[in-house]
Amino acid sequence: MEVLKKLEEIQRMLMFMDYQHFLSPTPTSSLSDSHRFLAQFLLFLIEPSGKLSIDDKCSLISQHLPKISPSFLENALVVLPGERTGVLGDSLSIDLVKEDFGDGSRGSGSNAACEDMALIGLDAMQRANSTIEDFCRSYFMFHGMDVNRPESIFKYLPVLSFVESYIYQLDTLNEKMVDVSVSKVAVRDGRSDKEAYSTLACRFNKDFESDTFRPLTILLQCNGLLTKRIREELKNGEEYWALERRLCGASEQDEISIEDALRAIHLKSFDYRVLNLLLYQLQGEEVNDFHMEFLTISEYLVEVSDDLFDYEEDVLENNFNILRVFVRIYGASAAPTMLAKSIAEAEEKYEKLSKALDPKLYASYQRRCEEATREGGKVSGYSLGSWTIPPLIVDEELYRSSMSDSS
């Protein structure tokens, strides 16, 4: 009935406009849309709005209309909740960009609004997919959700996938900024990656230093999903990327601290915490602080385990890796002992918290951890109760050079 009433009001206004000779005498399909827009605009003007009179409204329109441009309206769409027709789609917009986005080309969408909207490439979505799968299989149980029921997954998948893909898109950019900072270049078509990425890095460096997640927080806020804790975890993500750039971009002469390294490894799983907090918000639940604390310790141990497993690859790619930093700071002889001490402290806290966890839930989580370890091809990790330190690489440049020659 509400829709029919609205259509009736528009039709009456169109008749009034025609009677007042307000309309074009030769209506066409495009003009018909224009007439409808004008009718809706006039209906909006005559609606009550506080104590504003018709004269007040006309004065405001005359004063501010010159400031309203297509780009202004396109940017405004980013902060509006609900479905919207037009260039940006709805409030959770995805503008698919080319995987190599250094040339600035894009698919459909408005260039004018791109500065403040989420740019998510297919590569980022594909990289995020495995994280989303692991999150659903590992964290749904803490929300009383059955991951084997498709409706449990697909109900929240759009938001979770969007947010994780957005994070991966920024993570990809951050990696390219690290490459530029250490002059890790490869000539391609007569042009180096450094040349291709330097403009991109300069363009976004300011955003990384100020408010990296601004477009995402606006979208979450407009959909009633942004909380103080989610905002804090996103800030942790910004801090992690800054630490990653500093640690991976440091030269042999630059000093790096173990405090920065430990801070970075603890912050690295910020995306899982964002997704977990989002799931609480999506379900309208209060955050279970004990579960969050337990999972945070678990996340740290998982990150360390992953770093040990990926150590050689991270050296080759100049990725942040906790073992790399320990070797640099403590040396090859002491690094394994110092890292083992950090692991033991975390395991002790993990065991203490696990005893206070619901036994059935803890058993399910342990099974999932062991399952994930096997699927990842690891033969050791905290979930299986053993750790293996890989052969240490003291001279990373020599290692990269030798691997490059052999390949």
**65 versus 179: which is more confidently predicted?**
65
Residue 80 pLDDT: 55
Domain ranges of the chain: 2-68, 288-407
Spell out the residues 6+ positions from residue 370 whose beta carbon is closer than 8 angstroms to its own: 383, 384
Please tell me the distance from the alpha carbon of residue 231 to that of residue 233, in angstroms, as a whole number: 5
Lowest average pLDDT, out of 135-139, 247-251, 274-278, 300-304, goes to 247-251
* Site of tokens 């173990």: 258
Residue 202 pLDDT: 55
* Residue 95 pLDDT exceeds 50: no
Lowest average pLDDT, out of 23-37, 234-248, 364-378, goes to 23-37
Please tell me the distance from the alpha carbon of residue 237 to that of residue 231, in angstroms, as a whole number: 10
- How many other C-beta atoms can be found within 10 angstroms of the C-beta atom of residue 387? 18
- Phi and psi at residue 191, to the nearest 5°: -130, 135
pLDDT mean over 16-35: 69
pLDDT mean over 221-245: 93
**148 versus 27: which is more confidently predicted?**
148
Determine the residue type at 339: L
Percent of the chain, pLDDT > 70? Answer: 74
Residue 355 pLDDT: 96
Sign of the Cα pseudo-torsion (305, 308, 312, 317, in order)? positive
407 band by pLDDT with thresholds 50, 70 and 90: low
* pLDDT digits 0-9 by tens, 317-339: 999 999 999 999 999 999 999 99
Please report which helix (H) or strand (E) contains residue 371, including its range.
helix 359-375
Residue 372 pLDDT: 87
Residue 208 pLDDT: 58
Most confident of the following: 50-54, 100-104, 229-233? 229-233
pTM for this structure? 0.69
* Residue 385 pLDDT exceeds 60: no
8 band by pLDDT with thresholds 50, 70 and 90: confident
Helix ranges (H only) for 182-213 are 193-209
Residue 117 pLDDT: 43
Residue 205 pLDDT: 57
Residue 193 pLDDT: 53
CA atoms in the 13 A half-sphere facing the CB of 195: 7
